[in-house]
């Protein structure tokens, strides 16, 4: 439904199907002026005033920039080794539940498995199982059902036993957080920009990818309206748009000991501990919960949790919760 709605908005855009971009075209000054492309029958060149890489985490931009002689900054990678599997289901009317969604969250570092199931616009139900630390859900019907049986609550598994699978199981295991730091390049080429997952990709289980892409699109609109200064300046705007989601995703993923990649500095480690206290406090304090939801929804930056009033609430509520647990 989302893709259909977006395509209906693209009334002035020509979509060229069955065409693969294979490289960048530059002029004598090093400005990007188009792309090389390949179809089933021919090689072609496509010229443009501005080339936008929105090809996601599979972007070949690092290779293309290196081929042009650019020195690339080292990407920051934080990988919790999360994988997920998704299956659609039909649920008979006599077993239709009285809810439209169910979420069984993981609990780092104790619980590695989580699951989400929700009603779609065509009345089918979509179920996604996910596991951290290499605890991947199987992509077979029997394995899928058995994995669901081991979740923290039996409600989702009970629903699946009464449902009929629709289509194939779709599995995904390339879920590392990856920040390319294009904003740090000293010689970023004119005529080229990268946004969305092409610049900064996140663990998809948090649902931030499309939201950050939308924030990048807003940044692009403002950049073009303001005269489109330098493409290097735009890449700095992309990094700012992604910063909140990066903090949330990597804080969550670093709570698992199996997570590999860049390690946080002392300040980062302190914030992760504080973030865990914020999660605890949010279960008892409605104001902390509201601000945490704003952060998780990318409506506000994580620094809102560091306001003095929030610090007082978070520390107090978390300590009270810890004391109650110990008693």
Per-residue pLDDT at 323: 52
In the beta sheet, which residues pair with residue 46? 35
Task: Quick: pLDDT tens for 265-324.
Answer: 888 889 889 998 999 899 899 999 999 999 999 999 999 999 999 999 999 987 766 554
Q: What is the mean pLDDT of the segment spanning 85-108?
A: 93
The model carries a pTM of 0.89
Question: For residue 327, what pLDDT is reported?
Answer: 35
Model pLDDT, residue 326: 41
pLDDT digits (tens, 9 = 90+) for 142-184: 999 999 999 999 999 999 999 999 999 999 999 999 999 999 9
Q: In which residue are the tokens 């939801």 written?
A: 293
CA distance linking residue 165 with residue 163, whole number of Å: 7
Q: What is the CA radius of gyration of the chain?
A: 23
Residue 325 is predicted with a pLDDT of 44
Q: Give CA–CA dist 223/217, Å, rounded.
A: 10
Grade residue 6 by pLDDT with cuts at 50, 70 and 90: confident
What average pLDDT does this structure show over 60-76?
96
Q: What percent of the chain has pLDDT over 90?
A: 79
pLDDT at 67 over 60: yes
Q: Which pairs count as long-range contacts for 118-121, CB under 8 Å and 24+ apart, including other chains?
A: 120/88, 121/1
227-236 pLDDT, tens digit per residue, is: 878 999 999 9
Among 238, 261, 260, smallest CA distance to 185 is for 238
Q: Please state, rounded to an integer, the average pLDDT across all residues of the chain.
A: 93
Q: What is the pLDDT of residue 76?
A: 97
- Cβ neighbours of residue 133 closer than 8 Å, sequence gap 6 or more: 80, 81, 112, 256, 257, 258, 259
Give the pLDDT band (50/70/90) at residue 40: confident
Q: Provide, rounded to the nearest whole percent, the portion of the chain with pLDDT above 70.
A: 98
> Once rounded to an integer, what is the mean pLDDT over residues 66-74?
95
Instruction: For residue 29, name the pLDDT band (cuts at 50, 70, 90).
Output: very high
């Amino acid at each position: 439904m989302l893709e259909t709605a977006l395509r209906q908005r693209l009334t002035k855009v020509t979509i060229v199907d069955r065409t693969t971009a294979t490289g960048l075209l530059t002029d004598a000054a090093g400005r990007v002026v188009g792309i090389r492309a390949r179809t089933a029958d021919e090689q072609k060149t496509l010229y443009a005033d501005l080339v936008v890489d929105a090809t996601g985490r599979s972007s070949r931009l690092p290779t293309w920039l290196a081929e042009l002689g650019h020195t690339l900054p080292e990407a920051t990678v934080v990988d919790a080794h999360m994988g997920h599997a998704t299956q659609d289901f039909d649920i008979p009317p006599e077993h239709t539940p009285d809810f439209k969604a169910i979420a069984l969250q993981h609990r780092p570092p104790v619980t590695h498995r989580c699951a989400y199931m929700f009603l779609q616009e065509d009345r089918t139900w979509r179920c996604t199982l996910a596991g951290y630390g290499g605890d991947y859900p199987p992509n077979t019907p029997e394995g899928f059902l058995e994995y669901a049986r081991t979740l923290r609550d039996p409600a989702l598994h009970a629903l699946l036993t009464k449902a009929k699978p629709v289509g194939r199981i779709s599995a995904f295991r390339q879920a590392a957080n990856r920040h390319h730091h294009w904003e740090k390049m000293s010689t970023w080429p004119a005529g080229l920009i990268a946004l969305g997952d092409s610049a900064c990709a996140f663990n998809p289980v948090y649902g931030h990818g499309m939201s950050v892409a939308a924030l990048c699109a807003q940044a692009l609109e403002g950049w073009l309206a303001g005269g489109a200064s330098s493409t290097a300046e735009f890449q700095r705007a992309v990094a700012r748009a992604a910063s909140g989601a990066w903090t949330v995703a990597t804080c969550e993923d670093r709570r698992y000991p199996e997570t590999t990649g860049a390690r946080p500095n002392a300040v980062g480690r302190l914030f992760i501990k504080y973030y865990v206290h914020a999660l605890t406090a949010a279960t008892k304090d409605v104001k902390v919960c509201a601000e945490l939801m704003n952060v998780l929804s990318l409506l506000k930056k994580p620094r809102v949790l560091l306001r003095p009033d929030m610090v007082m609430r978070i520390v107090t509520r978390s300590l009270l919760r810890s004391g109650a647990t110990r008693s």
